[in-house]
């Protein structure tokens, strides 16, 4: 049973087409990455998914049924632009958000306290939002969209502005939620995070879907023609005729091969010429490379 | 539906609690009545103590009736109840005129004006007056002199007809009328006070509604809210929440006024036990007040949705202030004749009804059908404006950073 199903949706503002012919499906227990350059239609798509705006044409199905506002109580949404009431105390704020999502006040309060404990901000619970650091505010907002135990969690750039410790805390929480069978959709520019977390991805460019599928399938559809070598000593093996291009950093070379089968011969050449290899890895292109390649192709098209 | 009502309730409750806990609320609750009362008292005191104190000169014929008139006028202007001028009486000669003209030019002796009294063509006619002020816009002095002249002429004529000065004074004494059922003056100023109270609170709280929407836009909270509730619910909640704060404030004032009034009545031995306001007046005030609130708050909400900052809002303020200013203009005709056709028509204009129809309830006798019609019209207008506002709001809150122009706003109305 798909959690979200977009069928051929389109949205235009005046003369600008924000989203065109977009279809995608998100299954329960999936971490879904929505990628795309700025202004490509990610936020517009998300807004249509949760009924903030309505598509001009096409269908939005939530929880296997046509869009219905009741379904919104089962969704948690963290918009890219963060917003909290500055003068409200943390607990009041969380209870208010919980109530708006249909929770009774006492249930919301119990859960809010538990979550603050878990997110390590229990000390802040009686403070006003404006007294808190940006990272803390972000955690509060994160909690506010999980209080009502939504089955679909939508997060726009959830890790931006967080230090690595807190980003990891949030990631672990999201992975935990996925394990519980929740569907999680997030949009981000950080390809390394997507690569680490997502089962499925969709790349949108200029309002159109240019690539969609499971991370594994997408990556394996590209040849394993990348080599990452950690080495010391002579770098002249990089002249190997099978190497299409190579970027060298201190003690690291990122190589793109003409011929995916030439990896062994590159390794042999390196040893032969006296380089000391500490790590040698043959891989598919990174998601970032795929992203740039895909979006680049669309630009040409 | 219940869930949607619940959302409205939650938004309104949050808005209400946040506002009512602020120091600003406490301050305005205490300060506004103090300022209004203090200001009213001060204005009253000042008005009762303000007399014309100008220094003028009167030039008359050197003998006979002319001289007599000059001295009478001097007496009148220097010692009458509402005039404390300094008056010099001199003979009307070219030299005297030249001297006074010189003084007026240089501003010497603080001379404000001089008056030339020319003898009448025949004894039965009035003398001719030529008034030469230093500043032609000094209307206070002019009016004092005008009424002084009239009084003196009347007195002189009555004297020639054979009346004694004491008889003339008795004739000119003010008439005292006792009104059954409380003082008319008090009732009038009561109604006037209610008018301004409503005026002020409407402006104050409709601006608050607009501000609260802008605040929400700039803090970006609404995008989270919109993922569970509709813009209409949010708008309704905001208007109700901010409006209830205003009602609470007015409620506090009314209760305080009631207690103070009661204490005052008790202290003065219960002789003047009647309240200034009748029950009907109070009911009408509360009802029209609610209507006014809803009307102007919904306009304010639309203005808030169109703008991104306080500064931008200021530029659109006139949409709120202009109808209210129009109501002020209509006050005078309504005071003169509360049930004239003009009064009836303007008090039926929905944006004016809250202030003007309520005023007429105090002053005149609006027919029940007029009250009913104005309520119907206001209700329809409120729904109309809310419908418009919520559409502007729906699109406007998602457009930020950009100030919309009129064609864009019209286009927004087509989206939903």
Give B202-267 as a DSSP string: HHHHHHHHHHHHHHHHHHTHHHHHHTTS-HHHHHHHHHHHHHHHHHHHHHHHHHHHHHHHHHHHHH
CA A275 – CA A286 distance, rounded (Å): 25
pLDDT for residue A300 is more than 50 = no
Distance from CA of B241 to the nearest CA of A (A): 15
Residue A240 has phi, psi (to 5 degrees) of: -45, 135
Interface test mutation site (partner A, options B12, B216, B224, B413, max chain A beta carbons within 10 A): B224
Rounded Cα–Cα distance for residues B320 and B124 (Å): 59
| % of chain B with per-residue pLDDT over 90 | 4
**How many residues would you count in chain B?**
416
Give the start-end residues of each E strand in B270-365.
none
Position B403 pLDDT exceeds 60: no
Task: Give the dihedral sign, CA B359/B292/B15/A85.
Answer: negative
Q: Say if residues A248 and A235 touch (Cβ distance below 8 Å).
A: yes
Chain B interface test: which of A43, A78, A85, A158 (most B C-beta within 10 Å): A85
pLDDT at B376: 93
Q: Does B416 touch chain A (CB under 8 A)?
A: yes
Q: Closest residue of B to A68, CA-based?
A: B228
Collect all residues of chain B within an 8 Å Cβ-Cβ radius of residue A50: 227
Q: Please name the helix (run of DSSP H) or strand (run of DSSP E) that holds residue A66, with its range, or none.
A: strand A65-66
- Report whether B134 contacts B113 (CB < 8 A): yes
Angle subtended at Cα B312 by Cα B9 and Cα B221, rounded to the nearest 5 degrees: 35
How near does any CA of chain B get to the CA of A86, in Å? 8
Interface probe for A, chosen from B227, B232, B396, B409 (most Cβ of A below 10 Å), is B227
Quote the minimal CA–CA distance from A146 to chain B in Å: 12
Q: Which ranges in chain A belong to alpha helices (H)? A: 42-49, 90-100, 105-118, 134-144, 164-179, 191-197, 215-220, 263-272, 287-300
The string of pLDDT tens digits covering residues B111-166 is: 888 888 888 777 777 888 888 888 777 787 888 888 888 888 888 888 888 888 88
pLDDT of res. B182: 61
Nearest to B227 among A72, A82, A99 (CB): A72
Looking at residue B267, its pLDDT comes to 66
Report the candidate in B225, B215, B241, B243 with the shortest Cα–Cα distance to residue B307: B215
Is A96's CB within 8 Å of B223's CB? no
Q: How far apart are CA B59 and CA B165, in angstroms?
A: 25
Averaged pLDDT for residues B237-250: 87
Cα dist from B352 to B203, B246, B355, whole Å = 13, 19, 6
Mean pLDDT, to the nearest integer, of B236-252?
A: 86
Q: Are B156 and B72 in contact, with CB atoms under 8 Å apart?
A: yes
Kindly list the residues from chain B whose CB atom is less than 8 angstroms away from the CB atom of residue A82: 220
- Taking CA atoms, what residue in A is nearest to B212? A85
pLDDT at B271: 46
**Which of B224, B229, B416 is closest, CB to CB, to A79?**
B224
Report how far residue A197's alpha carbon sits from residue A179's, in angstroms, rounded to the nearest whole number.
12
pLDDT tens for each residue of A223-267: 888 888 898 887 788 888 888 888 888 888 888 888 878 888 888
């Amino acid at each position: 049973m798909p959690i979200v199903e977009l069928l051929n949706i389109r949205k235009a503002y005046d003369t600008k087409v924000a989203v065109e012919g977009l279809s995608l499906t998100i299954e329960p227990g999936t971490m879904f990455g929505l990628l795309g350059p700025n202004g490509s239609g990610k936020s517009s798509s998300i807004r249509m998914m949760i009924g903030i705006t309505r598509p001009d044409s096409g269908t939005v199905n939530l929880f296997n049924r046509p869009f219905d506002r009741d379904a919104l109580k089962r969704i948690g949404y963290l918009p890219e632009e963060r917003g909290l009431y500055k003068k409200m105390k943390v607990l009041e704020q969380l209870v208010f958000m919980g109530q708006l999502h249909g929770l009774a006040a006492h249930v919301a309060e119990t859960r809010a306290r538990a979550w603050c404990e878990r997110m390590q901000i229990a000390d802040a619970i009686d403070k006003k939002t404006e007294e808190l650091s940006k990272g803390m505010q972000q955690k509060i907002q994160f909690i506010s969209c999980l209080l009502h135990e939504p089955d679909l969690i939508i997060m726009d750039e959830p890790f931006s502005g967080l230090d690595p410790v807190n980003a990891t805390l949030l990631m672990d929480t999201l992975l935990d939620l996925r394990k519980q069978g929740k569907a999680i959709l997030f949009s981000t520019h950080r390809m390394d995070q997507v690569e680490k977390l997502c089962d499925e991805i969709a790349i949108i460019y200029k309002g159109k879907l240019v690539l969609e599928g499971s991370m594994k399938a997408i990556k394996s559809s590209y040849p394993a023609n990348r080599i990452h070598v950690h080495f010391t000593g002579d770098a002249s093996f990089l002249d190997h005729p099978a190497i299409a291009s190579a970027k060298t950093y201190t003690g690291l070379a990122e190589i793109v091969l003409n011929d995916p089968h030439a990896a062994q011969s590159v390794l042999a050449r390196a040893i032969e010429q006296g380089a000391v290899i500490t790590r040698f890895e043959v891989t598919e292109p990174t998601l970032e490379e795929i992203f740039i390649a895909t979006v680049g192709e669309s630009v040409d098209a | 539906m219940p869930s949607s009502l619940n959302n409205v309730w939650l938004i309104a409750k949050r808005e209400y609690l946040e506002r009512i806990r602020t120091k600003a609320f406490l301050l305005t609750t205490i300060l506004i009545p103090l300022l209004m009362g203090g200001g009213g008292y001060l204005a009253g005191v000042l008005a009762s103590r303000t007399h014309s104190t100008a220094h003028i000169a009167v030039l008359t014929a050197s003998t006979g009736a002319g001289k007599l008139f000059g001295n009478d006028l001097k007496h009148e202007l220097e010692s009458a109840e509402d005039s404390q001028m300094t008056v010099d009486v001199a003979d009307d000669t070219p030299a005297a005129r030249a001297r006074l003209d010189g003084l007026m030019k240089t501003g010497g002796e603080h001379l404000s004006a001089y008056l030339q009294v020319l003898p009448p063509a025949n004894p039965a006619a009035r003398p001719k007056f030529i008034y030469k002020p230093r500043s032609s816009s000094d209307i206070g002095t002019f009016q004092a002199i005008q009424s002084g002249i009239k009084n003196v002429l009347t007195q002189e004529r009555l004297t020639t007809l054979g009346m004694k000065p004491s008889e003339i004074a008795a004739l000119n004494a003010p008439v005292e009328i006792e009104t059954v059922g409380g003082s008319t003056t008090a009732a009038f100023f009561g109604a006037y006070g209610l008018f301004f109270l409503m005026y002020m609170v409407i402006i104050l709280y409709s601006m608050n509604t607009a501000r609260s929407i802008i605040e929400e836009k700039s803090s970006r909270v609404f995008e989270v809210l919109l993922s569970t509730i509709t813009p209409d619910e949010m708008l309704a909640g905001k208007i109700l929440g901010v409006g209830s704060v205003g009602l609470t404030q007015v409620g506090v004032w009314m209760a305080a006024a009631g207690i103070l009034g009661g204490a005052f009545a008790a202290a003065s031995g219960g002789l003047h036990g009647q309240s200034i306001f009748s029950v009907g007046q109070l009911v009408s005030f509360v009802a029209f007040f609610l209507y006014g609130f809803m009307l102007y708050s919904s306009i304010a909400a639309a203005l808030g949705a169109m703008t991104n900052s306080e500064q931008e809002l200021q530029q659109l303020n006139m949409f709120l202030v202009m109808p209210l200013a129009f109501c002020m203009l209509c006050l005078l005709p309504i005071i003169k004749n509360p049930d004239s056709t003009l009064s009836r028509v303007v008090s039926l204009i929905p944006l004016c009804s809250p202030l003007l129809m309520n005023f007429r309830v105090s002053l005149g006798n609006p027919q029940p059908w007029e009250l009913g019609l104005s309520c119907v019209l206001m209700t329809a207008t409120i729904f109309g404006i809310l419908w418009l506002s919520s559409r502007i709001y729906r699109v406007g809150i998602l457009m930020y950073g950009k100030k919309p122009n009129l064609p864009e706003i019209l286009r927004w109305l087509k989206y939903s």
